Structure 1
């Protein structure tokens, strides 16, 4: 893992413009900060999808066309703290569905906390955490040829550009059988005054979350980033529906990362692109799945129509 981190940081900071992968936000500190973000008044995304999972849980189950007497595997990509998924698990358990829950996450810390939490709250639910690469784990599960439902929530697909998203969903289809389902949670295109504050909260928690990536490089790769000389900067283009996050150098400076054995130069105002957050509508979703093996079988929205969970079926 450290070798991959080193290589991707080196590659990203050597690029023009500079980039760093958003997946490295999530260490122990990053996990805790993101939980804080999800509870911020400005961060509507979690509340909006939670609204669906709390108030339209039966509609989700019905849309997935599950049979209580047929065993299936419920696989969640990037499970995090499982806040929304617990609502689904609770009703599946109450209605005596036969399934195992496989949360997959890059963060071993998040998985350990989730398993501990579920064992306490829902002791009858079988939880089988899987740490690592989505597709490697899915490929191993596919060999069993059992019915599968994949959850990919939180608009995590929005961290990819449209071409990458299409390739990702196509690859998911390669690991599924016909009639398997993908529950895809996406943030819908909205006005600037709703979206931008979600990535630039008044308490500065999102800024700490973004800058923690530099702190992680300092701690794990022996870097000497001075966090006081960088700032968090979000941007949102309402017309194209894409929010972007940057770390911006506030002065001319040099940063050395000892493990990489390189020094990187920054000019005042230079950006490091860390994340995109794509927003969607029906046209974009149809375009993304056009060359995949999926079709849309349903769409469920929260009461404000900020967020949608699309039910996609493998054909």
Structure 2
């Protein structure tokens, strides 16, 4: 590992304000989404404190295979991954959307065991998450140099390109790519490529197409945790924007389209009703059984994901699969 002093630093590139700008952006997005036909709300607003707590519960559900599948991938292949990362010497391990770094810690442990020369650069929009992760890593790996970056993805990548000139290995785990629309996902991968140099590596987590019933169950569990997670978006609007959504008047609905390879989630109005939002001073009408689209989760074939990487300027090195070949961490190199 790279030994430096101090071992841990926090780089905060987020906007500094009293929260009013964030609230105004939230209100603007909600108003625009509820004024459209069909109506929609952005999944980016799922993760307030309660939403994050509910998502932790979802990840522990037996039906929600995604987290376990990728954890299995890394457990099975971490030695080979680490050898590939470190083949050309020192590198920055950049972790986009790091959160608590649960899966990345398997790689950190393997890197430490193999005594590889690297440092760790977790990146997340949550300053609290980065501070907690930094404190945790200081306890576990006191000699590991960590630069935690609080930023949106692209802002953080720009900073990395300007300030960290050595070779980079960028992780984008957790099938987060699936939350983008197909073209948006392509654009995002292309933007990552634009901030890297030849010889840099990119490890992309991809949930693969599989039995539609398995996918549907992961987003519509019988215990109703996923439903509570979806409905929490309306609770957040009520609390932060002065909305008066009646949660009993909406229900969670999920469907999977196997031809398009996309899982879709909705909130459905159970009756004709009108909702008021104090932040905008406007009312929004709902017909009986009218739906609000809240989330897409795209599934890929290995070929589709490889073609996306190639079009963005990457070359596929290898794909690491779980035992069921249902999840892949795909390693690309910048060419």
TM-score, normalisation: structure 2: 0.89
Distance 1:268 1:26, change over 3 A: same
Q: Hey, what's the Cα distance between the residues in 2 that align with 1:158 and 1:40? A: 20
Deviation at 1:239, TM superposition (A): 2.6
Q: Hey, what's the Cα distance between the residues in 2 that align with 1:274 and 1:8? A: 12
Q: Which residue of structure 2 lines up, in the alignment, with residue 29 of structure 1?
A: 50
Q: Which residue of structure 2 lines up, in the alignment, with residue 49 of structure 1?
A: 70
| Structure 2 unmatched runs, 5+ | 1-21
Cα deviation digits, residues 169-208 of structure 1 (max 9, x gap): 1111111111111100000101112111100112211111
Deviation at 1:65, TM superposition (A): 4.7
Distance 1:296 1:175, change over 3 A: same
Q: Hey, what's the Cα distance between the residues in 2 that align with 1:254 and 1:66? A: 60
Counterpart pick for 2:95 among 33, 55, 76? 76
The secondary structure found in structure 1 opposite 2:29 is helix
Deviation at 1:222, TM superposition (A): 1.4
Q: Contact 1:75–1:151 (CA<8 Å) still a contact in 2?
A: yes
Deviation at 1:118, TM superposition (A): 2.9
Indicate the larger mover: 38-47 or 226-235: 226-235
| Correspondence 1:11 to 2:32 | yes
Cα deviation digits, residues 206-228 of structure 1 (max 9, x gap): 11111111111112111111111
Q: Hey, what's the Cα distance between the residues in 2 that align with 1:190 and 1:231? A: 26
| Structure 1 unmatched runs, 5+ | none
The secondary structure found in structure 2 opposite 1:129 is strand
Counterpart pick for 1:132 among 124, 131, 151? 151
Q: Hey, what's the Cα distance between the residues in 2 that align with 1:235 and 1:107? A: 30
| Correspondence 1:191 to 2:211 | yes
Deviation at 1:242, TM superposition (A): 0.9
Q: Contact 1:101–1:127 (CA<8 Å) still a contact in 2?
A: yes
The secondary structure found in structure 1 opposite 2:315 is strand
Q: Hey, what's the Cα distance between the residues in 1 that align with 2:191 and 2:295? A: 22
Q: Hey, what's the Cα distance between the residues in 1 that align with 2:227 and 2:216? A: 13
| Correspondence 1:164 to 2:188 | no
* Bigger Rg, structure 1 or 2: 2
Q: Once superposed, what is the RMSD of the aligned Cα atoms?
A: 1.6
| Correspondence 1:309 to 2:329 | yes
The secondary structure found in structure 2 opposite 1:128 is strand
Q: Contact 1:256–1:263 (CA<8 Å) still a contact in 2?
A: yes
The secondary structure found in structure 2 opposite 1:164 is helix
Q: Which residue of structure 1 lines up, in the alignment, with residue 200 of structure 2?
A: 180
